[in-house]
């Protein structure tokens, strides 16, 4: 089954909005093994939308229109479907009444033009839109499927996943579901991960295994097709186990887990509190940690000692330590972690010092050093990070959180 996506909206042609809807739908189609040969964008013009529909019906088995089904005068997708298919426009009294109730419930009077949303080409089924008021459309014309869904991403995503994909899969005779699970790792290069998983890669096509490098993390995506989601998960489980054994402590989570949430959870389990002392990252480590709701159960606070003077006066770092090792050194990163734990009364502390660039400092730009103090040990590691100031700071922040996880879980490795 070949599916053509037509995005309707002059704002797309003008570049005011990027057509991310088409990419979202493209991924869903690919996951179900459905083909796509063309995607089209067309402005708010009945004749041109109709001509795009006609062209798509001539070369695809199904047409999915996004946008142009709202209440305003420039929402023309319904009219264009009628023009392209020769169907009459009908009016749904039932949906009109529903709309009226919806407005009444919010204590407002419905503007008259909202009734346009109750119009639909003859033979169309209305698709529920729990996130908005414009219903979608599903229509069968000469053996070809036509769908219209909202252009608002959240409404589109819900309707496509809930209503459009099942109908397309049924039409294509696709009876399997595809389930993916992403194993998230930090600390190894992509080539090292590939080496460790070499025997698993290609040994099986269902479940299958793929690598994704993303912002310093290597992710391993395990995908399986089966008759049900549960059956697919049964196929994935032993492969996931094998991957976890081979990658060991570099695995920090799966799917939507973030390193900051994983670290906070681990600390809460141990009953340990957390603090940070930052220099080149300027507060980014604390900002990431406090982005997690409920961080206050674990996080006490932090200091940003941006100047060397403040490292000495506020944290009490020994000036001679700085003089002999330099301010960008593992010794100073460790001393910062130890000092801030004492200062604010925390069990675990992260210290970060470094040269983010572009200004020249004592160590080359991209040299970022993380120290971690736990009740059990004090550790540090030097990271050498490529890229500009913002990238170096972001990667160092992520690295600091990962190194804290390894120290807290007792899985610290390397030098």
Looking at the Cβ atoms of 127 and 289, the one nearer to a copy of itself is 289
Looking at the Cβ atoms of 118 and 284, the one nearer to a copy of itself is 284
317: three-class secondary structure by DSSP: coil
Question: Phi/psi at 118 (nearest 5 deg)?
Answer: -90, -5
Does 359 sit near a copy of itself (CB under 8 A)? yes
Contact stretch for a copy of itself (CB under 8 A) within 222-230, 249-257, 284-292, 327-335: 284-292
356: left (phi over 0), alpha (psi -120 to 50) or beta: alpha
Does 294 sit near a copy of itself (CB under 8 A)? yes
Contact stretch for a copy of itself (CB under 8 A) within 158-166, 173-181, 246-254, 287-295: 287-295
Does 367 sit near a copy of itself (CB under 8 A)? no
* HSE, side-chain direction, 13 A CA sphere, residue 317: 31
Residue choice 48, 221, 233, 246 for contact with a copy of itself (CB under 8 A):
48
Residue choice 390, 410, 411, 413 for contact with a copy of itself (CB under 8 A):
390
Does 42 sit near a copy of itself (CB under 8 A)? yes
Residue choice 62, 80, 247, 284 for contact with a copy of itself (CB under 8 A):
284
Whether the CB-CB separation of 350 and 370 falls below 8 Å is answered with yes
**Distance between CA atoms of residues 124 and 109, nearest Å:** 28
Does 285 sit near a copy of itself (CB under 8 A)? yes
Looking at the Cβ atoms of 303 and 406, the one nearer to a copy of itself is 303
CB of 367 to a copy of itself, least distance (A): 16
**Distance between CA atoms of residues 320 and 41, nearest Å:** 66
Does 16 sit near a copy of itself (CB under 8 A)? yes
**Distance between CA atoms of residues 165 and 171, nearest Å:** 10
**Distance between CA atoms of residues 242 and 198, nearest Å:** 12
Which positions from 295 through 334 interact with a copy of itself, judged by CB under 8 A? 295-296, 299-307, 309-310, 313-314
**Distance between CA atoms of residues 330 and 336, nearest Å:** 10
Report CA Rg, the chain. 28
Looking at the Cβ atoms of 83 and 280, the one nearer to a copy of itself is 280
Cα dist. 390→150, 303, 325, 350, 383 in Å? 37, 20, 26, 20, 15
Residue choice 123, 132, 216, 282 for contact with a copy of itself (CB under 8 A):
282
Looking at the Cβ atoms of 119 and 260, the one nearer to a copy of itself is 260
Looking at the Cβ atoms of 188 and 312, the one nearer to a copy of itself is 312
Looking at the Cβ atoms of 40 and 407, the one nearer to a copy of itself is 40
Whether the CB-CB separation of 126 and 135 falls below 8 Å is answered with yes
CB of 377 to a copy of itself, least distance (A): 25
209: three-class secondary structure by DSSP: strand
CB of 29 to a copy of itself, least distance (A): 8
CB of 66 to a copy of itself, least distance (A): 13
Contact stretch for a copy of itself (CB under 8 A) within 74-82, 155-163, 235-243, 292-300: 292-300
Residue choice 40, 50, 322, 372 for contact with a copy of itself (CB under 8 A):
40
Cis peptide before 358 (omega within 30 of 0): yes
**Strand-pair partners of 145:** 62, 140
Number of other CB atoms surrounding residue 295 within 10 Å = 16
**Distance between CA atoms of residues 369 and 141, nearest Å:** 64
Based on the number of CB atoms within 10 Å of its own CB, is 37 exposed (0-12), middle (13-18) or buried (19 or more)? exposed
Does 211 sit near a copy of itself (CB under 8 A)? no
Does 289 sit near a copy of itself (CB under 8 A)? yes
Site string for a copy of itself, 233-272 (x = CB under 8 A): ----------------------------------------
**Distance between CA atoms of residues 181 and 65, nearest Å:** 30
Does 345 sit near a copy of itself (CB under 8 A)? yes
Q: Which helix (H) or strand (E) holds 178?
A: strand 177-186
CB of 305 to a copy of itself, least distance (A): 5
**Distance between CA atoms of residues 234 and 232, nearest Å:** 5
Does 386 sit near a copy of itself (CB under 8 A)? no
Name the residue among 282, 305, 62, 274 with its Cα closest to residue 172.
62
* Interface positions with a copy of itself (CB under 8 A): 12-20, 22-30, 36-43, 45, 48, 52, 55, 276, 278, 280-287, 289-291, 293-296, 299-307, 309-310, 313-314, 343-345, 357-359, 389-390, 393
């Amino acid at each position: 089954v070949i599916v053509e996506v037509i995005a309707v909206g002059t704002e797309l042609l003008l570049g005011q909005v990027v057509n991310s809807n088409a990419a979202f739908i493209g991924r869903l189609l690919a996951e179900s093994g459905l083909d796509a040969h063309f995607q089209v964008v067309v402005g708010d013009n009945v004749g041109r939308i109709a001509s795009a529909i006609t062209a798509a019906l001539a070369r695809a088995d199904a047409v999915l229109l996004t946008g142009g089904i709202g209440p305003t005068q420039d929402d023309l997708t319904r009219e264009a479907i009628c023009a392209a298919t020769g169907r009459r426009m009908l009016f749904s009294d039932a949906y009109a009444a529903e709309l009226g109730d919806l407005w009444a419930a919010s204590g407002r009077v419905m503007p008259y033009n909202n009734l346009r949303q109750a119009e639909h080409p003859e033979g169309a089924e209305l698709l529920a839109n729990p996130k908005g008021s414009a219903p979608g459309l599903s229509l069968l014309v000469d053996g070809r499927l036509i769908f219209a869904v909202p252009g608002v991403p959240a409404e589109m995503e819900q309707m496509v996943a809930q209503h459009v994909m099942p109908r397309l899969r049924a039409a294509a005779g696709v009876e399997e579901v595809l389930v993916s699970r992403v194993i998230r790792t930090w600390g190894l290069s992509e080539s090292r991960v590939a080496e460790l998983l070499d025997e698993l890669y290609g040994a099986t096509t269902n479940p299958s295994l793929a690598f994704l490098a993303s912002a310093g993390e290597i992710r391993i995506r395990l995908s399986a097709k089966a008759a049900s989601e549960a059956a697919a998960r049964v196929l994935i489980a032993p492969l996931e186990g094998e991957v976890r054994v081979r990658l060991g402590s570099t695995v920090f989570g799966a799917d939507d887990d973030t390193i900051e949430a994983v670290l906070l959870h681990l600390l809460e389990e141990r009953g340990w509190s957390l603090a940070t002392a930052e220099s080149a990252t300027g507060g980014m480590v604390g900002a990431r940690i406090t982005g997690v709701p409920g961080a206050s159960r674990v996080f006490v606070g932090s200091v940003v000692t941006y100047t060397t003077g403040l490292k000495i006066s506020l944290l009490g770092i020994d000036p001679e330590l700085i003089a002999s090792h330099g301010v960008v050194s593992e010794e100073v990163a460790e001393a910062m972690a130890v000092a801030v734990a004492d200062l604010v009364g925390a069990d675990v502390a992260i210290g970060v010092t470094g040269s983010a660039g572009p200004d020249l400092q004592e160590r080359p730009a991209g040299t970022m050093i993380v120290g971690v103090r736990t009740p059990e040990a004090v550790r540090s590691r030097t990271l050498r990070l490529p890229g500009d100031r913002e990238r170096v700071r972001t990667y160092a922040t992520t690295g600091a959180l990962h190194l804290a996880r390894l120290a807290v879980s007792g899985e610290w490795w390397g030098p």
